[in-house]
Amino acid sequence: MTEDPAVTPSYYKKGALECYEVIRASMGDIKYQGFLWGNVQKYLWRWEQKNGKQDLEKAVEYLSKLIETLD
């Protein structure tokens, strides 16, 4: 996982719990995949109008998480 604070800020982790893990556990795999895919689409949709490269990096992060669910 990228350690870029713009992509994975420290406030997404509390102690040993990471936000992604809590969301996945609460949603189950199918809904979690939909959550990830929706975020990929959101960041790809808005990157030119909002945060440019940062939004593309976020899209990559969510896509990487989505790919991890297939392992």
Structure confidence by residue, pLDDT tens digits, 31-67: 999 999 999 999 999 999 999 999 999 999 999 999 9
The answer, yes or no, to whether residue 9 has pLDDT greater than 80, is no
Mean pLDDT of 17-39: 96
**Residue 42 is assigned to a structural domain of this protein:** yes
**Residue 54 is assigned to a structural domain of this protein:** yes
Quick one: CA torsion of 36, 68, 24, 30, rounded to 10 degrees? 70
Tell me which of 3 and 17 has the higher pLDDT: 17
Domain range for 36 is 10-68
**Residue 1 is assigned to a structural domain of this protein:** no
The answer, yes or no, to whether residue 1 has pLDDT greater than 60, is no
Residue 14: what are its φ and ψ, rounded to 5°?
Answer: -125, 110
* CB 36 within 8 Å of CB 62: yes
**Residue 5 is assigned to a structural domain of this protein:** no
- What count of other Cβ atoms lies within 10 Å of the Cβ of residue 17? 11
pLDDT reported for residue 55: 96
Contacts of residue 6, defined as CB under 8 A and 6 or more positions apart, other chains included, come to: 54, 57, 58
Domain tally, the chain: 1
